[in-house]
Amino acid sequence: MNVKRLMIALILIFAVGTVANAQGFLGKLKDKAANKVKERVEDKVVDKVGKETDDAMDTVLGNKKKDKDKDKKSKDKKSNKNNDEDAEEVDTTPDAVGQNVKSDFVRGSVILFEDDFANEQMGEFPSKWDISEGSLEVASVNGKKFAHSNAPSSRFSPLMENMSSYLPDVFTLEWDEFFCKQGETPDFAFEFYFFDANGDWTGHIYLRYRPWNPDYYGDYTFKKGGGLDGEVSGSLDWDNLSKCTKVGQWNHFAISFNKRAFKFYINGIRIINLPNVAAPKRFAFDVADDNPYRGVGNVVLAAGAVELYERKTTDLSAEAAAIEKAIKETGKFVTNNILFETGKADLKPESMEEIKKVAEYMKANPTARFEVQGHTDNQRQL
């Protein structure tokens, strides 16, 4: 302790001498400036004194400090050893984490059919549809019109020029369904079918939701496009469906098909992913159970889909054929992939791929006449 006090006293004497010299020099300056400089010098000196004092004390007491640290580490080690003997063995292996992209849906670039039912008259049969069983009428839920089944079971398909074969080899299909809230009693089932050109089914999805329970259930069966087995099937369990669906709201359903690869989504989350199924030529919605909520809204069929895993390039000739099919079926084609910068007339770079597809079709049809239409959004550049 005496050594420590002596060291502090010696260092403080040095500090006072340093401050005195500084004051002699600062006396030649103006009082205000001198005071500022004096305060800074004194602060630095105090800091230096404090640091040097700490260093000196560590040097003087270093051996004792090391001995204390050594004793403390020894006690901690002994304590930890005793605790380890009493504790169960802990697995420190990192948990495995699966990496999986489940939101890869991209709408096809050429619209072949679409119906949001907005311009349909309430209570009438929807004008863009045909039916093979049951009955349909235009209804509304939460202010949104849709095709509602007002029979125990109804099967319906879009009106197309060729009703037996209108699906291209690569396409996307989207629609909306409404799931009622808990406490509302309707128990409803929904089925979706794919057919070949002869009318034989190639794929089937079944979904059931009971809001009064509540529970979800689903399964699927598809004919294979080749391979050892003739069919592939599976179940959609409650946990998966309950995580991605929205009760008391409209839910968005989507299908992506590319030559043989089938993907099914609910609200953007991929639920089914099959690599090899038979190519369909048409589809149908099948709605069972008569209740005020059951049906479909906002249906969009488009050419183009999520690329096959091994496909690296875009087949422009196939896209041009899809444009030609759209014009033949509907008299027009619609694309959502020619985009401009917000608030400018500048094309975004990603728009060029779509423009190349249109140019491919125009080259193949030099005598065709075109009218270009477009629309803008209400976003403004800040």
Do 166 and 329 touch, CB atoms closer than 8 A? yes
Instruction: Return the percentage of the chain with pLDDT > 70, whole number.
Output: 64
Distance CA 347, CA 340 (A): 4
Concatenating the DSSP letter of every residue in 136-152 gives EEEEEETTEEEEEE-SS
Q: Tokens representing 357?
A: 């597809």
Distance CA 293, CA 295 (A): 7
Quick one: pLDDT band at residue 281, thresholds 50, 70, 90? very high
pTM value? 0.57
336-354 tens-digit pLDDT: 778 777 777 777 766 777 7
66-112 tens-digit pLDDT: 444 555 555 555 555 455 555 455 555 555 554 555 778 889 989 99
Instruction: Return the pLDDT at 226.
Output: 73
User: Which whole number is the average pLDDT over 182-189?
Assistant: 70
The larger pLDDT score, comparing residue 170 to residue 16, is at 170
Quick one: pLDDT band at residue 64, thresholds 50, 70, 90? very low
Instruction: Return the pLDDT at 160.
Output: 95
Residue 223, SS3 per DSSP? strand
User: Which whole number is the average pLDDT over 24-28?
Assistant: 46
User: Which whole number is the average pLDDT over 363-376?
Assistant: 75
200-251 tens-digit pLDDT: 999 999 988 777 776 778 899 999 987 667 999 998 877 777 788 888 889 9
User: What is the SS3 string spanning 226-248?
Assistant: CCCCCEEEEEECHHHHHHHCCCC
Cis preceding-peptide flag for 214 (omega within 30 of 0): yes
Do 240 and 253 touch, CB atoms closer than 8 A? no
Instruction: Return the pLDDT at 319.
Output: 66
Of 39-53, 91-105, 269-283, the least confident: 39-53
Mean pLDDT estimate for the chain: 74
115-144 tens-digit pLDDT: 999 999 999 999 999 999 999 999 998 889
Q: Tokens representing 257?
A: 């098909």
Helices (H), 61-164: 62-86
